Amino acid sequence: MIPQNKLGIASSIELAHEEERISKLAALSLYRDGALDKLEPGTFTTLQKIHVTLFGDIYDFAGRVRDVNLSKGSFRFASALYLQSALKSIEGMRQGDFEEIVEKYVEMNVAHPFREGNGRAGRIWLDHIFRCELGRTVDWSQIGHEDYLLAMERSPVRDLELKELLRGSLSNQLDNFTLLARGVDASYSYEGYATYRAEDLAQGSIRNERHED
């Protein structure tokens, strides 16, 4: 079933391509335009703003807390009935060191507050906390697709595997655009989006802006 969208697209393949293109450019803009720097790390409001930035031009549900239950395989995410209280509890979790930050991220993933796009928005949210609290950024390209998905699947019960993956991917190159772009590509590949390279999209966007000027 094709989600209702603001683009008027009726093809699932075309919609997936446009969603990837538009939201990847939006993800890059969060970093390049300094928008992330103005947001408070670790709050649900910040996660909502990230989600709206990524998907607001595509879906009406962007940034809206879901009112339906979601599951993945045999795992059920937080019940919609208790989601608001769960989000308040997660927001109050400590985030002063690496361990606490990852544990907070795991709980937010279990909450899965939106109908779609939780993974992509959540990874930017996590990276923002690392940047603000530890002065580090996540190079997602250092974490393989299967390794990440398996670690996330196991994280609600045992998060040591996820912590090791994330610990080995942290970099202090906060302003390295190549690292950022390849990280966005890796993050999207976890969800099966791999048609466009973020760096190519960014270069094309800059060329278009210059042409318009």
The pLDDT value recorded for residue 73 is: 87
Whole-number pLDDT of residue 55: 98
Identify which of 112, 125, 119, 116 has the alpha carbon closest to the alpha carbon of residue 16: 116
Domain ranges of the chain: 12-212
Please compute the mean of the pLDDT values over residues 65-89 and round it to a whole number.
95
Secondary structure (DSSP) of 4-47: P-TT----HHHHHHHHHHHHHHHHHHHHHTSTGGGSPTT-HHHH
pLDDT score for 163: 98
Closest CA to 154 of 208, 109, 202: 109
- DSSP state letters, 119-150: HHHHHHHHHHHHHHHHS-EE-GGGS-HHHHHH
Q: Which of 185, 31, 159, 176 is nearest to 101 (CA)?
A: 159
1 has pLDDT over 90: no
Res. 211 pLDDT band, cuts 50 70 90: very low
Q: Which residue matches tokens 């970099």?
A: 171
pLDDT tens profile 118-170: 999 999 999 999 999 999 999 999 999 999 999 999 999 999 999 999 999 99
pLDDT score, position 182: 97
Q: In this model, does residue 97 exceed pLDDT 70? A: yes
d(CA 62, CA 48): 8
pLDDT at 212 over 70: no
Place of tokens 């899965």: 112
pLDDT of residue 90: 98
pLDDT at 207 over 70: no
Q: How far apart are CA 15 and CA 120, in angstroms?
A: 16
- Predicted pLDDT at 114: 98
pLDDT tier for residue 210 given thresholds of 50, 70 and 90? very low
Task: Give the model confidence (pLDDT) of 22-51 as tens digits.
Answer: 999 999 999 999 999 999 999 999 999 999
pLDDT of residue 209: 54
Question: Does pLDDT of 95 surpass 60?
Answer: yes
pLDDT at site 206: 55
pTM given for the model: 0.95
12-212 CATH fold: Fic-like fold (1.10.3290)
